Amino acid sequence: MRIPFALDGLPFVIVALVAAAVCWFLSLHITVYVLLGLTVLLLGFFRDPIRRIRASDDELLSPADGKVIVVRSIDDQSIEGGKGTLICVFMSLLNCHVNRSPIKGEIKSVKHTSGKFIAAFKDMASEVNERNRFIVVNRHSDEVGVTQVAGLIARRIVCRIKPGDKVEAGQRIGMIKFGSRLDVVMPASYRASVEVGDKARAGLTVLGRRIADDKS
């Protein structure tokens, strides 16, 4: 049975527990309690709940837990057709930070870009911050762009996919450590199903649905 915890957080938990043990032997009891509290917070932050993914081929799922902060039309020449809808999901420190693929398909490209670490909820974060972008293509030949954007506190983007990989809708593809955002660009053949302010859950919330079938 899978443990609902992301192994990326294991080093942090081990360090906190070892430090707590050392402080216990040194009789630094208040520090021990602080470190144990930190361990609990780390266990919560790196939680990786088991979710039942039930998406149809025409649904585009949220790749992250968090709050929808942007829904708008966009010109993006990196995806076929060039036009689509940008949906941004902001992850606070309290959200689960495991990222998932929004659709079933094949990874067309993965590109990491170095950058700054300004607050992820700012519009310019998508253009200037450290980020990792991948494009996944489904059976309709629709291209969906997903960008993992680092933030003010988030300094580590984890991406476990590479070009040519086949992914399922809702499949785990990585995470961003300690708060950030995910930007999704879905093509014009999809219509947004969420609004600014909505709460999203990775692999469960439908961000958009396909409205055309002209590429099948």
- Please write the tens of the pLDDT for every residue from 143-160: 999 999 987 766 688 999
Residues ≥6 apart with Cβ < 8 Å to 71: 85, 86, 87, 192, 194, 195, 196
Lowest mean pLDDT among 60-64, 77-81, 133-137, 142-146: 77-81
Residue 73, pLDDT > 70, answer yes
- pLDDT tens digit sequence for 24-33: 999 999 999 9
> Residue 9 has what DSSP assignment?
G
Q: Quick one: fold of 59-210?
A: Glucose Permease (Domain IIA) (2.70.70)
**Domain spans, the chain:** 7-45, 59-210
Q: How confident is the model at residue 6 (pLDDT cuts 50, 70, 90)?
A: confident
- For residue 180, indicate whether it is catalytic: yes
Q: What is the mean pLDDT of residues 82-94?
A: 90
Please pick, among 62, 101, 180, 189, the residue that the annotation labels catalytic: 180
More confident: 116 or 171: 171
